Amino acid sequence: MREVAIIGVGVTKFGELWDASFRDLGIEAGLKAMNDANLTGSEVDGMYIGNMSSGRFIDQHHIGALIADYSGMASRNVPATRIEAAGASGGMAFRQGVMAVASGMNDVVVVGGAEKMTDVTDEATNAVMDSAADQQWEATMGATFASLNAMIARRCMYEGIATREQIASVAVNGHAHGALNPDAQFRKAITLDTVLKAGMVADPLGLFDCAPISDGAAAVVLCPLDAAKRYTDKPVKVLASSQTSDTLALFQRKEITSFAATAAAARQAYSLAGIGPEDIAVAEVHDHFTIEGILALQDLGLFKKGEAGKAVMEGQAAIGGKVAVNTSGGLKARGHPIGATGVAQIVEIARQLRGDADKRQVPNARYGLAQNVGGTGSTVVVSIMEAV
Amino acid sequence: MREVAIIGVGVTKFGELWDASFRDLGIEAGLKAMNDANLTGSEVDGMYIGNMSSGRFIDQHHIGALIADYSGMASRNVPATRIEAAGASGGMAFRQGVMAVASGMNDVVVVGGAEKMTDVTDEATNAVMDSAADQQWEATMGATFASLNAMIARRCMYEGIATREQIASVAVNGHAHGALNPDAQFRKAITLDTVLKAGMVADPLGLFDCAPISDGAAAVVLCPLDAAKRYTDKPVKVLASSQTSDTLALFQRKEITSFAATAAAARQAYSLAGIGPEDIAVAEVHDHFTIEGILALQDLGLFKKGEAGKAVMEGQAAIGGKVAVNTSGGLKARGHPIGATGVAQIVEIARQLRGDADKRQVPNARYGLAQNVGGTGSTVVVSIMEAV
């Protein structure tokens, strides 16, 4: 298989974007990425789009064709493939794009992720979110993602894996970084007290332990590594993109203080990349809830189990710490337009490895990792990139 | 890239299956295909699933993880990827599975397609169908797939491309074949009179010009061609799987008496396969409405434009004719569980090329083709297979 490079990245502002439609957002991110790659549309020969629920959020299925159409690609019959895996939709679309270029099936691929969540009622949004869990055995019984993650948090606290304060510190870290990201939904640093005293959502998780509902889109352009210099002086090499599954329902796991699918995807990805967790300088992890941020750090091997929470609290996940985690702000502060998240993670890692991350730049970052999760660890994609 | 073979196929009965759930259907089809390939689950290292709208039909997104879970694959963290492109979801999942094996990313891949449509109201079903068209410029304005196809049919009749009787004969051909397929939703031969005198849906198309609403699932197992003999004496070689896009809305096309995306996908597929339309012995085409059956035959080059309707009426698309079209019964008689359709087409072609099609067997078929469409020709996948 061919080696693959990221040659362009683009992202919209994330937030409650009531004056932008789904198609506006998708096109904005795609054009930014193509401009960043100094690319004209005529060179693109494949598109992958991560999206969870355009069918319920905007009453529109078949958004591959929609994006191909509105980007002008349909005039050349460019194939456009939509991928859905709840929160992992974007990371999975990225992996399929990497596969398309690596295999030789395509030469220049645009991978986009987009979600327009705020045009429906809160009730409708909640119903969509719940449908990423096991509808039959979880959602129907009243379980929500907040309550499932609250159970994980409780168990972690009980087993001494992390304290309430340590879990809360994931949000503090995210907000500190989000304040430096002009595209983030929340750009205000917060204190531990803000998280601990926020209104309760599902005990022990409060409002600031939960990522927001967001609109937004992100895109990257891929091509073979040996062609990348035609487009950019700063290509980013994709070393690995590994995808795994676990049970859909949380209660069927052997343990809930670890996501086995993250650990398995990480093992595969490190092996393919030929590096270990100690080499990662910058990581975007799927902190849909703060506790997921703790689990990610331990399951990816970035910190030992039982030490991740302490490390975050001590600033080891901040810019300048052992490994800079969620420099974009993460799902909590950058925002979480579901299908866009996995692609936005790749955008942030690429910017860091190119040295383009402005005020939130991690100095001399060589290796970066993105971890994207669907459901409560039911689907995980771990991708590793290298500055070249 | 490696050559790819189909080594197992499976399909459920199609129809109104009120006593089978989505997960029941998906697992039944997958297990049948795996048994057909003499395969144990432990050899599978990737899964692709075509599905249009589990999110609205069964309130469940994230069905990759669901199927990985209920098939037992999640216990080994096997990646499962859901693909959506309205009616082309199944064909597109097949293409991604082929790419995964061809690239060397995976060695044994199960591709499934499934849809459970009959557990919601007709109103909800119609809303889902409409959302495969351009919601903003078609569905919101009152256009439905029946009315869009009626406009295509009217224009074809006006331009002398096909008469009303010729268009209707597509349903007669499908039902004649469906009567021979034990898994088909409708197993009763009909006359031209039945089609012409049926209740009007959208002038000139009546009830028998429209494919039904269906539940069902289909699956195939893929592996590298050079490993296929380990599993089966009758592998089927995948020569090409080509995917194209066109505008989402019909009104933006230069012409509506032809699907440019079908013609483009066919050109690519024939070129990759190194054969021409004259070599195709058996074809499954996307006759969601009878007029789409006519368009497919001409756009695939199986008959000349303006001659397809006459040919169908004269029996040239029947078993024993020039090219046997929709020997499964097609969407009209076999049924159209949206995400399953594209995979069920591959199942039928594989059976024909293996000589396993029982009463509907086409003698000595060497090359077979499947054409799967999303929307009104907005996404098309054309795949070509060869008996080996």
Closest Cβ–Cβ partner in B62, B82, B131 for A248: B62
* Interface list for A 123-142 with B (CB within 8 A): 127-128, 131-136, 139
Is the Cβ pair B64, A375 closer than 8 Å?
no
Question: A172 and A317 in contact (C-beta within 8 Å)?
Answer: no
The residue assigned the tokens 């557990």 is B119
User: What is the mean pLDDT, run by run of 10 residues, along chain B of 388 residues?
Assistant: 97 97 96 96 96 94 96 97 98 98 97 97 92 94 96 98 98 98 98 98 98 98 98 98 98 97 98 98 98 98 97 98 98 98 98 98 97 98 98
Interface predicted TM-score (ipTM): 0.97
Q: Are strands A379-387 and A367-374 parallel, antiparallel or unpaired?
A: antiparallel
Q: Which residues of chain B does A136 touch, with a Cβ-Cβ cutoff of 8 Å?
A: 23, 60
* Interface list for B 169-208 with A (CB within 8 A): none
pLDDT of residue A254: 95
pLDDT of residue A39: 94
List the single range of A118-127, A173-182, A264-273 with lowest mean pLDDT. A118-127
Q: Which residues of chain A does B83 touch, with a Cβ-Cβ cutoff of 8 Å?
A: 81-84
Euclidean distance between CA atoms A47 and A44, whole angstroms? 8
Is the Cβ pair A55, B56 closer than 8 Å?
yes
Closest Cβ–Cβ partner in A69, A85, A102 for B247: A69
pLDDT of residue B266: 98
Distance from CA of A114 to the nearest CA of B (A): 15
Question: Which are the contacts of B355, defined by CB distance < 8 A and separation ≥ 6?
Answer: B234, B361, B387
pLDDT of residue A355: 98
* Cβ contacts from A onto B, under 8 A: 203
Euclidean distance between CA atoms B25 and B32, whole angstroms? 11
Over range A324-339, report the average pLDDT.
98
Percentage of chain A beyond pLDDT 90 is 99
Is the Cβ pair A128, B103 closer than 8 Å?
no
Is the Cβ pair B134, A73 closer than 8 Å?
no
How many CB atoms within 10 Å of residue A137?
Answer: 15
pLDDT of residue B94: 98
Model confidence at A131, in pLDDT bands (50, 70, 90)? very high
Closest Cβ–Cβ partner in A84, A247, A261 for B82: A84
Is the Cβ pair A243, B132 closer than 8 Å?
no
Over range A314-337, report the average pLDDT.
98
pLDDT of residue B42: 94
pLDDT of residue A225: 98
pLDDT of residue B250: 97
Model confidence at A347, in pLDDT bands (50, 70, 90)? very high
Is the Cβ pair A56, B55 closer than 8 Å?
yes
pLDDT of residue B188: 98
Q: Is B352 on the interface with A (CB under 8 A)?
A: no
